Amino acid sequence: MNTERIKKLFQSRGFRVVAVGIGAFLLLFAVWRVFFSGGQSKSSDGYSPTTLEERLAQLLGEIEGVDGATVMIGEKDGEAVSAVVIIRGDLGLVTRMRVLDATANALHIARQDVLVYPADN
């Protein structure tokens, strides 16, 4: 008798609507959890700067003409091999050269391994 009640329950339109609704909710929750909730404090692009990157960005912000900087350091085997620096403020050649020199010296890498770009204001 229980099997007949279960069959009748599954044939019920109301049950199917509720089951599809619950399934859709679970799917939406899973998508939200995977794509929109990292569980960590990250920037909008999913990247969290390292302590070294934050310290270097703070140092570069002290250079005359630089209103702020964002730094991403490329590493290989635990050592810095390249850097990308995005600066806000004065975008003149002198400021860019100062940022380039300071970054290369701070990371002990060649100047040609440092790229400096203006921020999109």
Please report, for the chain, the start and end positions of each structural domain, with discontinuous segments joined by +. Answer: 2-35, 51-118
Q: Which helix (H) or strand (E) holds 112?
A: none
What's residue 41's pLDDT? Answer: 46
pLDDT tier at 68, thresholds 50, 70, 90: very high
What's residue 113's pLDDT? Answer: 96
SS3 121: coil
Range 51-118 has CATH code 3.30.300.30 = yes
Q: Name which residue leads in pLDDT, 44 or 117.
A: 117
| Residue 85, beta-bridge partner list | 71, 116
The burial class, CB within 10 Å (0-12 / 13-18 / 19+), for 73 is buried
H helices of 1-121, where? 2-11, 13-35, 51-61, 93-107
Mean local confidence (pLDDT), 64-87: 94
Residue 45 has pLDDT above 80, yes or no: no
